[in-house]
Chain A
């Protein structure tokens, strides 16, 4: 008996689907983009957005809290008065943390999205998932105008998380409500 793999592949070949024409990519690959559009669209999802010139000054509200700091977070962000939690961290540690401070890999102006790729200042995926508060620092030069531009800048084989606003659901009467399993508060610092 042929394996499922061989049989499925044979059935596909047997269907003799004709070759498709070349894909026409007539859509916009670029967009107006910019800090302003990004800020406006992140805020549309009820994320809290600040445009700042320096990070450390903007972190004062974290004082007195237990905040996860992934590897690679710049030393100057680790201000006094905050209990910084560093790896290794257990699931329980993360669950008990007050929040997490990260950078990002790329952001998308058109959709108000931040993308994490597990690189510097982002850490593994659980770090930005279990704490109920996520503060993400986005540099202006990290903001891509459009989805196509953003994908071009990303390495697809890294574990990626696209985040557009706080956790939400549309499952009750098809209207959006914020706050289910992921961080219920997303705060974005745009550094210009």
Chain B
């Protein structure tokens, strides 16, 4: 039986990084899932909640439950948003449907680490804080990347340190955020990688935004896009 999956694209990816969401669809379908995208979805409310707007968060959490109820699995290309749903929504009185970050869905639910991907580039991986500490995704993304053909995986020094994004933290404490970003970029550049990958476009937008400002020559690519890439249908940079 095909595993039926609802994709929670997340508002950030839907709007700014549609190629990531398309990659999730391609990848999951290739692995035999049937993917649906409930069009009524919007945002998990993380920005509101983390900034202190708990009351505004509640209707968004309720909406999430309503939109995705009935699905056995909801998959999001974001550890942070999946963490928000899984760890925070219940504290707001919701019983959200089972929601997974992409890597944990692939490894834990589908039971695959070799997804048949091909990505001939030197890659380093930043394990984002919420994937790591809220969801406990652990080594799963690395296991997936190690199985990608052609991929030269280089370990990121001090990988578990936060990149300094932190949602509105990047605005409210912009200078401290930038100081954290500087160290993260230094570590990325030290690897000599051509691609920086992560499971969250928010963190990638932050580190990538810094690397872009420096014209550093490292491209941020979401994990989903690497895993979706095959020899027949290889990853292409979207403009």
A touches B in complex, CB < 8 A: no
Q: Give chain A's interface residues, CB within 8 Å of chain B.
A: none
Q: Give chain B's interface residues, CB within 8 Å of chain A.
A: none
